[in-house]
Structure 1
Amino acid sequence: MAWIALIVAGVFEIIWATAMKQSEGFTRLWPTVVTLVAVTISFGLLLWSMRTLPLGTAYAVWTGIGAVGAFLAGILIFGEAASPSRIIAALLILAGLVIMKSATT
């Protein structure tokens, strides 16, 4: 159950990062509200998952999901560049997450 909570926390990290970008420096109300709600949920689920999972694993997976998800959101929503080197970097982060998960019992 802790892994599910951690993955959902990572998804909410993507949501708050994307909404924060759309808030334009917290000058737009609804993206700001989404940011604050999503960051609260994300941190809460991370906190809950850390009751069971090791700190290093939980934090690395949480930030990794957020990093790869924000990378994809940047490309798909904001039209950011999808250069080969950026894609390789995202794949390496994803590979690290898989290794981290498989190394944790």
Structure 2
Amino acid sequence: MTFDFPDELLHTQKELCRVRSERSRLLAALPSFAEASAQSGAAHWAPGDPPLGRSREQAEQEHQLRGQETELAAAIQAHPFWATLSGPALVDARSALKYAACQAE
């Protein structure tokens, strides 16, 4: 089954794929909390400080990307296109949108 997705919905899904990929790359490059704790000898940090093993800039970038990811996912979920479908067609369309927009990622 093929779907004729509205351009803005397809664009939003592509942007969501891009942001998720960027956030994944950022997180993969950072040490885990356990690694950072072992290296620093600390098990916690003060409120407002970036998590151990991360610079303030990295923490802010991750926070920004997480916010973008949430906003884009909400925009996709609320798009009026989904009201034109129901049942299995709706499930198929959601999968087809992700495939169409994210296959190059």
TM-score (norm 1): 0.48
Q: State the structure with more CA Rg.
A: 2
Alignment TM-score, normalising by the size of structure 2? 0.48
**Larger relative CO (CA 8 A, sep 6+): 1 or 2?**
2
Higher helix share: 1
